[in-house]
Amino acid sequence: MTATSPIGSRIALQDEFSQLGFRLVRFGQAMQEPSTTVSELMRLAQACGINLKLRVVGESSDNAER
């Protein structure tokens, strides 16, 4: 175990937040891309610490009920 100074730990924390921000931006971009697969979204979400749960619901129209 190594001792860190307050400045060193602050830099490490900033770097961690910077990396998280980059992963969140990439996840957001992937959510907007129609070609992104569900498995890619799951992987990107997990990298951000997000537990992504998807549910698919079919659209219904008035014609389908007749």
pLDDT, tens digit (0-9, with 9 covering 90-100), for 20-64: 999 999 999 999 999 999 999 999 999 999 999 989 899 987 665
Spatial CB neighbours of 45, under 8 Å, sequence gap ≥ 6: 27, 51, 52
At 12 the pLDDT is: 77
At 48 the pLDDT is: 95
* Whether the predicted pLDDT of 1 surpasses 80: no
Of 59, 55, 28, the residue nearest 44 (C-alpha) = 28
C-alpha span between 45 and 57 (Å, rounded): 21
